Amino acid sequence: MPEDWQGEHVLLSGLLQKELGRPPCALPEHKAVHKAAASSTLHNPFPTFKFTGPLRPIYPLSPRRSIPDHIPKPDWHQDGQPKYRLFGRNNIAILDKKAQDAMRKVCRLTREVLDIAAKEVRPGVTTDYLDEVVHNACIERNSYPSPLNYVHFPKSVCTSLNEIICHGIPDQRILLDGDILNLDVSLYHEGYHGDLNETYYVGPSALNPSNTHLVETTRECLSLAIDAVKPGLPFREIGNIIEKHAKANNCSVVKAYCGHGINTEFHPAPSIPHYAKNKAVGVAKPGICFTIEPMISLGSYRDKTWPDNWTSATVDGSRTAQFEHTLLVTEDGVEVLTERMEGSPGGRVERVKETKEGERV
């Protein structure tokens, strides 16, 4: 077993032993008994899957969290199916003043919820606990967590650790000192969606040369792209800006996922690829709302999806980071609707350098 895989192996084994009162190898060997035990104890639900990196899912998932009747819900809350086509439409919505104000409100609430969850990020808590925090914060704001049951996603927030590019499902995995964690929060409030994510350092050991290089490069990619947004900007140009900076820092841009329009629908047009020489259709116009959310990898840009049909990992197990904002194109530039507030957790840090002797400075 490679050295960097041992932490996850030990973690899962330790959790199983704590839960069962005996080492995992002492589980009953009879298949039926083993299956029954696994359904109620901490376990990896995909033991034969060839994972690309150290991370493993730790089940069981907690039950689906409920939404009070008085909170308005998107059309997928019952059957898991949005009633519109996700992409492929060339009609890009131009929002009037009332709709723009509604987007400002839901995006402010989205920022509040992300900040509440981010304050709980620390070694020793589970990603399922963070899901509970996000869910409750949404309810307190009379909002529906947009990911919940969206195409059957089982949770209220995406928690993507280390080599997970996006769409990580909150489970019983404990955050470890040295992890990096992306929290992707989306709210549905009064008929409109807000979308926002950031990557956070978990514990002091996370502030190391490779992590800070990756995370800060990704943060810069988003910032540079936002700086270019104004009326007339071709959407395809955004990917050129992002990939230029990523390549200059010896990183790659994930191509499988992109930014998107957002308003009364969760993922309408336009499509916003983050890689260079893409063929995105359309130009920025005042009144258009969309997201930019680059996913940057220290290694390969290629992805592999876990058997849960959601969790997307880098094919080589390399670490990846992501940042996202919801933007409104204005008459002379852009308004960042999900901008950080004074006191928002996280934020830019200086890159940690490594000396020839391996010391951090």
Question: What are the pLDDT digits (tens) for 171-223?
Answer: 999 999 999 999 999 999 999 999 999 999 999 999 999 999 999 999 999 99
User: Of 216, 66, 239, nearest to 139 (Cα)?
Assistant: 66
User: Order of strands, edge to edge, in the sheet holding 164-166?
Assistant: 164-166, 312-314, 303-305
User: Of 107, 184, 133, 137, nearest to 340 (Cα)?
Assistant: 107
Neighbours of 249 (CB within 10 A): 16
User: Of 333, 318, 245, 240, nearest to 279 (Cα)?
Assistant: 240
User: Of 254, 234, 259, 267, nearest to 301 (Cα)?
Assistant: 254
Residues 294, 274 contacting (CB under 8 angstroms): yes
Quick check: 240 pLDDT over 70? yes
pLDDT, the chain, mean:
90
Residue 127 half-sphere exposure toward CB, CA atoms < 13 A: 31
Quick check: 156 pLDDT over 70? yes
- pTM for this entry: 0.90
Residue 244 φ/ψ, nearest 5 degrees: -60, -45
At residue 200, the 3 state secondary structure works out as strand
Quick check: 36 pLDDT over 70? no
d(CA 193, CA 58): 30
At residue 290, the 3 state secondary structure works out as strand
What pLDDT is recorded for position 20?
34
